[in-house]
Amino acid sequence: MAPVVPHILRYESLASTNTTLKELSRSGAQAGTVILAKQQTQGRGRTDRSWSSPQGGLYFSLLLKSDQMHRTTDLPLLAGAVLSHTVKRTLPSHLSIGVKWPNDCLLEGRKVGGVLCESTGDGRDAALIIGVGLNVNIPATQLVAFQERPFKATSFLECSPGKVFDLDAILQAFLGIFFQAHEKYMDKGFRFLQNYWEKECLLIGREVELKNTGLNQEKESSTGSNRGRFLGIDEQGALVLSKAEGDRQHFVTGELTCCW
């Protein structure tokens, strides 16, 4: 497979980089197209939430086509692990950084970034948009968007006051790490991704709680909450919880929190 070459299109302000890239994809944009905006006025997050996107954050979307993935469902996990890897490369090593299932990035126990993947087109035109948001040079006073959630928001600036981070360098680092990991994933398949993702995750082996879950065995969702030891992800990317010795449950949806 020919390597994907990233091609960055820069904007001052967009409603949502994912939305713009979806439109460009429909009119024939190539794999590797990246839409970057300094701010978004209608940034979107997972589960129909909004994504607060003031100037100072990093907001971009990357286009991949269907022949650049084994399964669409793998890429959100890959992007989440790469985001955590990128943040680790950028910030001092004493900080605790890792991916939270499926693809949030935690910094010192708080959410610093996230990934929204959206499919578009079908058949030979099928494509995946990987949208990434990262709270970089954003002061604590502006981090209001997630304050009601179990994992409150943070930013690079909150953890390193007074330092201004180079957004372009972070984007380049992400793309470099992404395409290296992507090549291994295309070559070795999900097994590579599972190991890579689990290495980037700080919560494995910890007692966690999963709310609003969907159990894949039952193919139905419930609004209940489940506590147990987080064992990792299975070959479908589902979260595996052990509630008691020998008992394992696999969840395809849910909001993970940690029982400290």
Give me the residues that bind ligand BTN (CB under 6 A), please. Answer: 16-18, 40, 43-46, 49, 51, 59-61, 104, 114-116, 131-133
> 179: buried, middle or exposed (CB in 10 Å: 19+, 13-18, 0-12)?
middle
The distance of closest approach from Cβ of residue 16 to ligand BTN in the complex, given in angstroms and rounded to an integer, is 3
Element (H, E) at 156: helix 156-159
Minimum distance between the CB of residue 246 and ligand BTN, rounded to whole angstroms? 34
CB nearer to ligand BTN: pick between 208 and 228 = 208
Find the shortest distance in angstroms from Cβ 166 to ligand BTN: 18
Q: How far is the CB of 32 from ligand BTN (least distance, A)?
A: 17
User: Minimum CB separation from ligand BTN for residue 162, in Å?
Assistant: 25
Instruction: Give me the amino acid identity at 232.
Output: G
Q: Are 183 and 3 in contact (CB under 8 A)?
A: yes
Q: Which is nearer to ligand BTN, 173 or 231 (CB)?
A: 173
- State the DSSP string of 226-246: EEEEEEEE-TTS-EEEEEETT
Question: 7: which strand partners?
Answer: 33
Nearer to ligand BTN, 151 or 179 (CB): 151
Distance CA 177, CA 179 (A): 6
The residues facing 250 across adjacent strands are 240
Nearer to ligand BTN, 59 or 185 (CB): 59
Residue nearest to ligand BTN (CB): 114
Whole-number minimum distance, CB 17 to ligand BTN, in Å? 4
* Closer residue to ligand BTN, CB minimum distance, 228 or 251: 251
Residue closer to ligand BTN by CB (options 13, 217) is: 13
Q: Do 193 and 78 touch, CB atoms closer than 8 A? A: yes
Query: What are the beta bridge partners of residue 256?
Result: 210
Q: Which amino acid is at 141?
A: T
For residue 34, the SS3 value is: strand
